Amino acid sequence: MITGKFPSLRLRRTRKYTWSRKLVQENNLSASDLIYPIFLIEGKNKKQIIKSMPNIYRYSIDKLGEIVSKLVKNKIPMVALFPSTPNSKKDQYGSEALNENNLVCRATQFIKKKFKNDIGVMCDVALDPYTSHGHDGLLKNSYVINDETNEILIKQSLIQAQMGCDVIAPSDMMDGRIGKIRKALDKNKFHDVQLLSYAVKYASNFYGPFRDAVGSKKSLKSDKKNYQMDFSNSNESLREVALDIKEGVDMVMVKPGMPYLDIIKSVKENFKIPVLAYQVSGEYSMIKQSINKNLINNDSIIESLMCFKRAGASAIVSYFALEIAKKL
């Protein structure tokens, strides 16, 4: 592959100057590659710190203009919405997911009314923010049941589309839900609503701060290994993606991010489909806490994001998105 040999070939030549390094740089990161997750909370005039995620907040609907304006100004193309549902509105069925006046629906309407198509809105489809048991689907004998859950997810997706959601993003990992949701969207004339599948979502240990943020950590009494993927497996990820492509997905997500760069690369090389990476809450908090303690420096953030581009990711969901977009 490499022709020539030392001393006539010196790879350090192009590394000597900044301008030269930029000329031969193989991958680039821009604000257009980034998606910013926003956590939502009931009430008015609230911007609530999330203790396990430094510099990340929960916003009441009336405070969304403040943060979304910054995202638009810094050319971030999309937000991802996640609700912190009050316990009083949770039940074993996740009924609040089908409430047209829930946090996600109101936030979607607010953003689309105020910002139109200056920014895209991605809505999570899963029941875990709404269930009293903290699982992504309906429980029967301590097992998440698939087909019955899919029927709820279809209804949730249609409501979100009606509210103006641009990208429906099922993160639940139920079998067959992509095809059913796509069929329902098309039947109801939402042909242009995009479908992003969390096709490869591992039963990871890196989700803890996120569960704090949405308020499901205390209610979750068991793991999610009977529906999320085993982190020992890689070939299974290709089967998951292949099924979702066949069912009509537009983009796929790999979650978590940095521990699964091999999966991102494999999915991209095998399917040539837009692949998104989610740099999850545990990854964010580890890096941010290390920076705050002067164990590593701020440049580690860019390095952590660039690795996704190097692996083949088309875009990255990251809590660092706004901080980094300001510097790009």
Q: Are 274 and 236 in contact (CB under 8 A)?
A: no
What Å distances lie between residue 9 and 2, 13, 16, 20, 155, CA to CA?
Answer: 10, 9, 15, 16, 62
Please name the residues in contact with 26: beta carbons below 8 A apart, sequence gap of 6 or more: 310
Asked whether the beta carbons of 247 and 178 are under 8 A apart, the reply is yes
Helix/strand/coil for 316:
strand
Residues 6+ apart with CB under 8 A from 263: 200, 234, 237, 254
Please tell me which residue in 90, 180, 224, 255 is annotated as part of the active site.
255
Contact between 150 and 105 (Cβ < 8 Å) = no
Pairing mode, strands 251-255 and 34-40:
unpaired
Whether 99 contacts 176, CB under 8 Å: no
Q: Is 255 a catalytic residue?
A: yes
Catalytic residue check, 51? no
Look up residue 223 and give its two tokens. 């793991």
Residue with tokens 């993160």: 171
Provide the 8-state DSSP code for 189: T
Q: How far is CA 134 from the centre of its chain?
A: 18
For CA atoms 324, 34, 42, 216, give the dihedral sign: negative
Q: Which of 180, 201, 224, 268 is catalytic?
A: 201
Going by C-alpha positions, the residue among 326, 281, 325, 311 that lies closest to residue 35 is 325
Both tokens of 298, joined, read: 């701020």
Question: What span, in angstroms and rounded, lies between the C-alpha atoms of 82 and 210?
Answer: 10
Active site residues: 201, 255
